[in-house]
Chains A and B, each alone.
Chain A
């Protein structure tokens, strides 16, 4: 699985590289220690950076979702730019080779970004432990505020945790391949 994971990250290297960059930037903002070594490396951390675990709830949440948020917002528009024009509006190679190639590349970059949204399992588990593990004694008001935050953030936390699992096992990549085959070959 590790080999497949690394291969998929190298195939979709633009998104993996940018994801690593956003993660590095977030670590810098949060002043977390980062082990130098590049964003594209042949191990589980491909498309990520090795960094120390965050201690606070906010820092853990930000390092888990921030880089993915950036990749998602940018990748979505790259993907839609290519997909809407090629698939929905039916632009073909014969309508303009350059334009078509631009759309294909944009769609590829978009998919590569959308394939690299989720954090390493360690990061999301760290956040889960901090946010939903045993909490220290707090005042009733802080406990109530904390509880509201936990409830509101739960869907995102759950999606991120599930996404991290899917991404680690290359399931998101497989889903993308299936989607492309369905849209451009079967349909």
Chain B
């Protein structure tokens, strides 16, 4: 820092703002000042006599009072040239920053969607995150439409592999790493690059789960094929398959947890007791704990369903909480939790839970989501408010026309009211819609769910037994009943069919639904 105190009296050189006077800058006047100065200097006494100091910069002239340099050096210093490289750098930087500003403005809309997705993911709201991430490319395409498809700026407005990896991680971490890995082609599309993706630990973990499952499945191919091809679901047949599976335990390439899961499936498919089924799940849970890996995606839902069906809501709650924490937008954990509360007779908590879910899962235009409607309808039906439930169903079907669960709820309301023909028609419509979704979109979970099968079976059987049988799809009634010929039903269901129990009791007590 040039240290100097400006002389307030030296106004002919420095103005009161500390700025050199324009007068000095005029070359003609400069000469005049210089000559005057020189005359003055010549006339002046020697420095030691006047107390003046020679300019340390030039060593030729004296400095003015309070100035570090002589007026000419001060003038020269205040006119130091800007370097050419600096000017070029500044111009380039300015132009580049304007370009950056334009690109950042164009990127704003897709980037906002990506940030929304990140925020939702931080809250474990996977549905909202997935929805927002998917809108990034839509927003980028809209921008491309505005600036023109052929504009070179389009190269700067697009999402990359990193964003697709975030979508993958969102689904794999909170839903099912195995299925997500299987669907990686549709997630990444052309940008799939194993070299990059394998650097991510979540991707590697999903891949490992997939490889373990594939390897175990291959080794267990024979008993699994036997199970799939056999119509005989007797206990003896099940025991044979169990023995074949157990033989493979410990073999290289066999994952014990996945093997346990196949064992559970044998218990579920064949005519075993519920206690044995629960034991198989307990064994699976213990083995999974030993690995230290997260296998909750593999069996927690099944475990919870079995626990609830065996009237063990407190035990089930522990596993439901794990599922709910992973994804606050997931429907199943909330449904199970609601059922667990109902089983405990705690309707208030169930209602509060549904309201919380409803608030957390509003659509972008602030409407209830399709799954929120399912829960609200369910809750209204459980409370016996059929008018409210029916009104909600109508409202939901106007917005979401392809949700089979709404028709199932209609069937349950009719069953509880003893209107079996209407119940059969609603259940039939529900099954058709679920079949359509399974066939065309691969959404098989709902179509193969126990609650759908039981609703359809019970509606058809009760219609056959007590209905007037004059409705639209009655011609398919026998066909529907026959399709369940090989299924082993729970005692509660067979009791209803045989007239030993009332379906209304089943639908108004405990869980109030078919699990």
Contacts and interface: CB of A to CB of B under 8 A. Distances in A.
Interface of A: 14, 17-18, 20-22, 24-25, 27-28, 30-36, 39, 45, 50-56, 58-59, 73-75, 77-78, 80-81, 84-96, 99, 106, 109-110, 120, 122
Given A89-B160, A90-B161, A36 B80 contact: yes
B90 interface: yes
B97 A74 contact: yes
Contacts of A99: 155-156
Given A17-B89, A39-B86, A89 B1 contact: no
Contacts of B298: none
B78 A95 contact: no
B86 A78 contact: no
Contacts of A39: 86
Nearest to B20: A31
Contact of A89 (B4, B74, B136): B136
B207 interface: no
Contacts of A75: 97
A87 B110 CA distance: 13
Contacts of B97: 73-75, 77-78
A50 B1 contact: yes
A66 to B, nearest CB: 13
B170 to A, nearest CB: 13
B18 interface: yes
A39 B20 CA distance: 23
B161 A77 contact: no
B193 A94 contact: yes
Interface stretch (B98-106, B252-260, B433-441, B457-465): B98-106
24 contacts: A21-B86, A28-B78, A28-B80, A30-B19, A33-B2, A33-B4, A39-B86, A45-B1, A50-B1, A52-B2, A52-B78, A59-B19, A77-B100, A78-B96, A84-B107, A86-B162, A89-B160, A90-B159, A92-B196, A94-B191, A94-B195, A99-B155, A106-B96, A109-B93
A17 B100 contact: no
Interface residues of B, number: 52
Nearest to B19: A31
Contacts of A21: 82-83, 86-87, 89-90
B164 A90 contact: yes
A47 B55 CA distance: 28
Contacts of A56: 16-19
Given A31-B19, A34-B78, A89-B111, A53 B1 contact: yes
A39 B86 CA distance: 9
A89 B94 contact: no
A50 B2 contact: yes
Contacts of B87: 21
B6 interface: yes
Given A56-B18, A85-B107, A106-B100, A91 B78 contact: no
A27 B81 CA distance: 11
Contact of A80 (B69, B93, B104, B110): B104
Contacts of A58: 17
Nearest to A15: B93
A109 B93 CA distance: 9
Nearest to B115: A88
A122 B161 CA distance: 48
Contact of A32 (B78, B83, B165, B193): B78
B204 interface: no
Contact of B103 (A24, A81, A90): A81
A85 B114 contact: no
